[in-house]
Structure formats: structure tokens, C-alpha cells
Amino acid sequence: MTFKQAVITCLKEKYFSIDGRASRSQYWYFWLLYVLVTIALAPVDALLFSVGGFGPLSALFNLAMFIPFITVAVRRLHDRDLSGWWMLLMLVPVIGSIALLILYVMPGTDGPNQFGPDPLDNGGIAAWSGDDESLSPTSIPRVDRE
């Protein structure tokens, strides 16, 4: 998944959605966007509002990014075949954040899991919905051999 695809997916297609799975590239590209914009907004806030650190533009950006950041993190846990409730590890000081970081860095499960098809199948676009019996999870038509 490219940087642009990850940002579009997180901000437009799945802003409120925790359904499905997010690949490592989708999660980390979205995280990169968040960090870059936060760094870029700090001097703008300081220049326009004469505040050091966290100004109104940064606050609005963080507010707008709160939900998509949570949803992509939950989908990333789904890729590891874990429930989104694992995000509660953040409540455990230091160790919880380190544990979540390790989970986010690890590769997802191969093939479909309980949360959906593998996001890396078919060039990063999971096309299999399970509705069409003639298609396999890799979108290769099944051939009956007699």
C-alpha cells in the first residue's frame, strides 16, 4: 500500500470503521502523516498564535485525527487476529505501550482470519468477500476437478 492509498483509506473510506484489517504499511504510513503534520503545525501555531508547544491548529488537527487513528490501530490489531480491546494495554504505564508497539510492528496473519481477508492479498486490496462461492480468498476461480 502506498502512502497516498493509506491516507485515503484511513481518512475517507474507513474513517469510522473498525471492520476488517489494516496492513503494517497502512498503519505506519498513517502514523507518518500524523507525525509530519504535527511537526509542521508546531511552528505555524507559534507564529500565528504566539503560543509555545500545543496551539489551536495542533489541537484541531489532533481532534480530527483521534477517531481515524483509533480505528486504524484496531484494524491493525485485527490483522494480528486480536480484538480491538487489546488497545486497553495503553492504560498500563510504559509496558502497555511497548507491548502495543511490538504488536503493531509484527506481521499480520497469513490468509483470512476472523476479521476478514488478508489485506496483502491481491496487491494489498482484499477483493474476497466470501459471498461468491466460485472465488477463493486469492480471487483465483475455483475449478472443479472430476
Asked if 87 and 100 count as a contact pair (C-beta separation under 8 A), the reply is yes
Which pLDDT belongs to residue 25?
Answer: 92
Instruction: Say whether pLDDT at 20 is over 50.
Output: yes
pLDDT given for residue 76 in this prediction: 94
**pLDDT band per the 50, 70, 90 thresholds, residue 26:** very high
For residue 142, tell me if it sits in a domain: no
Report the alpha-carbon distance of residue 43 to residue 122 in Å, rounded. 42
User: Using alpha carbons only, how large is the chain's radius of gyration in Å?
Assistant: 18
How far apart, in Å, do the first and last CA atoms of the chain sit? 39
Whose grid coordinates read 459471498? 131
Residue 115 maps to a domain: no
Cα(68)–Cα(142) distance, rounded to whole angstroms? 37
Would the pLDDT of 128 be above 60?
no
pLDDT of residue 132: 52
Looking at residue 82, its amino acid is: L
Mean pLDDT lowest for which of 39-53, 100-114, 127-141?
A: 127-141
Within a domain: residue 63? Answer: yes
Res. 126: pLDDT tops 70: no
Residue 88 domain-assigned (yes or no): yes
Residue 110 lies in a domain: no
Q: What is the mean pLDDT of residues 28-57?
A: 87
The verdict on residue 56 lying in a domain is: yes
DSSP, res 9: I
Query: Is 122's pLDDT higher than 80?
Result: no
Q: Residue 124's pLDDT band (boundaries 50, 70, 90)? A: very low
Phi, psi of 103 (to 5 degrees): -65, -40
- Does the pLDDT value for residue 125 go beyond 50? no
Residue 50 placed within a domain = yes
Q: How far is CA 84 from the centre of its chain?
A: 12
- What's the whole-model pTM score? 0.77
Which range of residues forms the domain containing residue 53? 3-105
Secondary structure letter of residue 137 according to DSSP: T
Q: Indicate the number of domains in the chain.
A: 1
Confirm whether 121 is domain-assigned.
no
The residue count for the chain: 146
d(CA 7, CA 58): 18
- Quickly state the pLDDT bin for 120 (edges 50, 70, 90): confident
pLDDT at position 131 is 53
